[in-house]
Amino acid sequence: MARDRIPPSRHRVRAFAASVAALALAGTATAFAGTPASAASLPKGHDVSSHQKNVDWPGARANGARFVYIKATESTTYRNPYFDQQYNGSREAGIRRGAYHFALPDKSSGARQAAYFVGHGGTWTADGWTLPPALDVEYNPYDKKHRCYGLSHSGMVRWIRSFSDELKRETGRRPVIYTTTNWWNLCTGGSSAFAADHALWIARHGSADAGTLPAGWSSWTFWQYDNSGSLPGDQNLFNGSAGRLKSFALGL
Residues forming the active site: 47, 138
Task: Say if residues 99 and 70 touch (Cβ distance below 8 Å).
Answer: yes
Which of 100-139 are b and which e, b meaning 16 or more Cβ less than 10 Å from the residue's Cβ? Answer: bbbbbbeeeebbebbbbbbebbbbbeeeebbbbbbbbbbb
CA distances for 21 relative to 151, 169, 194, angstroms: 20, 33, 20
Task: Say if residues 103 and 140 touch (Cβ distance below 8 Å).
Answer: no
Residue type, 232: P
CA dihedral 117→118→119→121, nearest 10 degrees, is: 80
Return the SS3 of 57: helix
Residue type, 62: A
Task: Say if residues 124 and 250 touch (Cβ distance below 8 Å).
Answer: no
CA distances for 83 relative to 67, 136, 147, 167, angstroms: 15, 16, 27, 19
Strands 234-238 and 44-48: antiparallel
